């Protein structure tokens, strides 16, 4: 969809961004409190003190009960990481912060937000972008799409919609316009 690019643009506009995927990566890293729980739930996926994501992905792929088990381990850790992020930036009295969350509506994280910005692209562009990632297959993409809310519903729920298929300059300008409007509103 372009969430990572949009997150970098927001950071360039002085909006701190909490990256949920980054929090998951930290949970998979050596020394994380999640390692023991993940190894207990999915024996053999921890190697040299960190989660082998490919091995874990092979186990949970197309197994909804395994996915739910993994989410039950990860979602509280991601939520705690996000809460720490919010607390730090509230103390700094930041104008705004942003959450980069792949499953924002599905996890009800949108309830923590004053506004939502959905970045979107046509499905063929999404497929092109995603299938270019290492280890991604058409089957994996389809499984991901089946677990997510349809893009049309996300757009319907969003406070703002930013298409990311019209070039980076368009995305930058659209996000600048949104943030500029919100700053102006906050100064009233």
**Which three-class secondary structure string do you get for 113-129?**
CCCCEEEECCHHHHHHH
Separation between Cα atoms, residue 180 and residue 184, nearest integer Å: 6
Q: Which helix (H) or strand (E) holds 51?
A: strand 50-51
Low pLDDT (below 70) residues in the chain: 1, 188
User: What pLDDT, on a 0 to 100 scale, did the predictor assign at position 148?
Assistant: 84
Of the residues 50, 75, 93, the one at which a domain ends: 93
Tell me, what CATH number does 133's domain have? 3.40.50.300
Query: What is the DSSP annotation of 11-45?
Result: HHTT--EEEHHHHHHHHHSTT-THHHHHHHHSTT-
- Taking only the tens place, the pLDDT of each residue in 36-85 is 999 999 999 999 999 998 899 889 887 889 999 999 999 999 999 999 99
State the residue range of the domain holding 137. 1-16+97-188
Which of 44, 59, 93 terminates a domain? The answer is: 93
Let me know whether 104 and 177 are in one domain. yes
Whole-prediction pTM value? 0.85
Give pLDDT, residue 128.
Answer: 83
Domain count, the chain: 2
Whether residues 85 and 108 share a domain: the answer is no
Residue 80 and residue 69 share a domain: yes
Q: What pLDDT does residue 140 have? A: 80
| E strand or H helix that includes residue 72 | helix 64-91
At residue 188, the pLDDT reads: 65
Q: What is d(CA 184, CA 6) in angstroms, rounded to the nearest whole number? A: 21
Nearest to 27 by CA among 83, 101, 78, 79: 78
**Residue 86 and residue 166 in one domain:** no
Answer yes or no: do 106 and 176 share one domain.
yes
67/149 same-domain check:
no
Clarify whether residues 151 and 138 are in a common domain. Answer: yes
Whether residues 105 and 39 share a domain: the answer is no
3, 54: one domain = no
Do 158 and 116 form a contact (C-beta atoms < 8 A)? yes
């Amino acid at each position: 969809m372009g969430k990572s690019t949009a997150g970098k643009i927001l950071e360039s506009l002085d909006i701190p961004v909490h990256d949920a995927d980054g929090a998951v990566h930290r949970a998979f890293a050596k020394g994380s409190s999640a390692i023991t729980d993940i190894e207990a739930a999915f024996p053999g996926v921890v190697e040299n003190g960190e989660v082998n994501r490919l091995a874990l992905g092979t186990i949970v792929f197309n197994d909804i009960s395994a996915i739910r088990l993994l989410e039950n381990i990860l979602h509280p850790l991601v939520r705690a990481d996000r809460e720490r992020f919010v607390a730090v930036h509230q103390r700094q009295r930041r104008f705004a912060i942003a959450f980069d969350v792949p499953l924002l509506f599905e996890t009800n994280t949108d309830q923590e937000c004053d506004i939502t910005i959905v970045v979107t692209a046509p499905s063929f562009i999404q497929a092109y972008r995603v299938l270019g990632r290492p280890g991604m297959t058409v089957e994996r993409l389809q499984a991901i799409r089946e677990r997510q809310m349809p893009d049309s519903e996300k757009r319907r729920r969003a406070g703002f919609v930013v298409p990311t298929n019209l070039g980076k300059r368009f995305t930058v300008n659209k996000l600048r316009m949104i943030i500029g409007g919100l700053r102006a509103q906050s100064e009233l």
